[in-house]
Amino acid sequence: MPELPEVETSRRGIAPHIEGQTIANVVIRDRRLRWPVSEEVDRHLTGATINSVGRRAKYLLIETTGGTAILHLGMSGHVYLVDTGTPAGVHDHVDLELDSGMALRLTDPRRFGSLHWCLEPLEHPLLAKLGPEPLSDDFNGEYLWQRSRGRRIAVKPFIMNADVVVGVGNIYASESLFIAGIHPKRPAGRIALARYEKLADAIKAVLERAIRAGGTTLRDFYGGNGESGYFQQELDVYGRSDEPCRICDTTLTTVVLGQRATYYCKRCQT
DNA sequence: ACTGGCACCTGGGCGC
DNA sequence: TGCGCCCAGGTGCCAG
């Protein structure tokens, strides 16, 4: 169930094992992901050689001599390497079998993930209108402030909107608002530039720290190397309702915003 | 243009 | 042990 740091961890985990490899065979056991997996995927990837593994937002981009596979892990997807021929479980929907004898396996119990094939992935309808990468220079407080003028939506769903900025999911939205001292329900259009500068810095910092920690392992996430991340140990507010704020000791509060659980400190965040 | 709500799907944990 | 309910790291689409 990945946000940007978990996708990036997966990318770094699988890249060294699959870059330069030729895809000998594509096995698709179940095409029923969020959108049906097109037969274009098998047709174009079979026999192709993988040049690189990139990422845009929460999409993994497996760029090959036969076009690019666009892979989204949804809420419950994982990718990892197995020996080719390893028996598949019910949720092991796709294997890319490589010349090395290994296979890149996609597992996704809830099937909210997706797999597309495209020649120009950044022009794909799912990617074309995405906001800036949070770790790029295009994303900063000035940008957030500009985009939020006139908006009445609460700041938390505002920063989780991929049209505004990509990669900020439910965990890191709560975490970054805590770091910036901003109440998650505050209307986005009523936050000053200086506070948005703090928020942009907090988003970058928390995502970078989480990537360094190998992501957050809450239930079952693990990176492409099969190891758990350990950022969950560093979470300040997410999942900590009724526990004390690490700054002021006030009991943390939870509220539902945009149908998503939201955690904050009512004393530190205003 | 914006906003809030629903939908997709499975599994784990809980209370009874 | 079993059942029903609630919850879960995402995001496209719909109506108002």
At how many degrees (to 10) do helices A4-18 and A193-212 cross?
40
Whole-number pLDDT of residue A228: 75
Identified catalytic residue from A186, A204, A260, A266: A260
- In this prediction, residues A9-36 reach a mean pLDDT of 97
- Spell out where chain A has E strands: 23-28, 50-56, 59-64, 67-72, 78-83, 92-98, 102-107, 114-118, 253-257, 260-264
Do A154 and A124 fall within a single domain? no
| Predicted pLDDT of residue A220 | 56
Q: Are residues A123 and A152 in the same domain?
A: no
Asked if strand B comes closer than 7 Å to A113 Cβ, the answer is no
Residue A225 has a pLDDT of: 52
Checking each nucleotide's C1' against the CA of A126, the nearest proves to be C12
**Is residue A247 situated within a structural domain?**
yes
If you average pLDDT over residues A46-69, what whole number do you get? 98
Which residue from A47, A70, A72 is spatially nearest to A119, judged by alpha carbons? A70
Bridge-partner residues for A254, per DSSP?
Answer: A263
Average pLDDT along chain A: 95
A85 domain residue, yes or no: yes
Determine the average pLDDT of the residues in A6-21.
96
- Taken in order A231, A232, A233, A234, the sign of the CA dihedral is positive
Residue A47: HSE in the Cβ half-sphere, 13 Å Cα cutoff: 2
**Average confidence (pLDDT) over A106-129:** 97
Q: What is the pLDDT of residue A230?
A: 87
Quote the number of domains for chain A: 2
| Positive/negative CA dihedral, A208, A220, A2, A40 | positive
Query: What pLDDT shows up at residue A221?
Result: 46
A50 CB and strand C closer than 7 A: no
CA distance A202 to A134: 10
**Which of these is catalytic: A11, A55, A58, A147?**
A58
Same domain, A146 and A115: no
Amino acid at the residue A103: A
DSSP string, A91-125: TEEEEEEETTSEEEEEE-TT---EEEEESSGGGSH
Are A29 and A37 in contact by the 8 Å Cβ rule? The answer is no
Structural Rg of chain A based on CA atoms: 20
Nucleotide nearest to A125 (CA to C1'): C12
Residue A133 lies in a domain: no
pLDDT cut 90: percent of chain A above it? 91
The mean pLDDT of A125-143, rounded to a whole number, is 98
Instruction: Convert the pLDDT of each residue in A214-260 to its tens digit.
Output: 888 776 544 455 567 888 888 999 999 999 999 999 999 999 999 99
Given this model, what pLDDT does residue A136 score? 98
- Mean per-residue pLDDT, A132-142: 98
CA-CA distance, A3 to A230, in Å (whole number)? Answer: 14
Give the structural domain span for A146.
141-264
Q: Which residues pair with A213 in a beta bridge?
A: none
Whole-number pLDDT of residue A227? 62
Report the CATH number that the domain containing residue A209 is assigned in CATH: 1.10.8.50
Instruction: Point out the domain boundary residue: A128, A160, A180.
Output: A128
Please compute the mean of the pLDDT values over residues A6-34 and round it to a whole number: 97
Specify if A76 maps to a domain: yes
Query: Are A174 and A112 in the same domain?
Result: no
Residue type, A184: P
Residue A151 CB lies within 7 Å of the nucleic strand B: yes
User: Does pTM surpass 0.85?
Assistant: yes
pLDDT tens-place string over residues A202-226: 999 999 999 999 888 776 544 455 5
Mean local confidence (pLDDT), A71-84: 96
Does position A189 have pLDDT exceeding 90, yes or no? yes
Mean pLDDT of A39-43: 97
Same domain, A199 and A176: yes
For residue A134, indicate whether it is catalytic. Answer: no
> Rounded CA gap, A244 and A120, in Å?
48
Contacts of A63 (CB under 8 A, 6+ apart): A50, A51, A52, A53, A54, A121
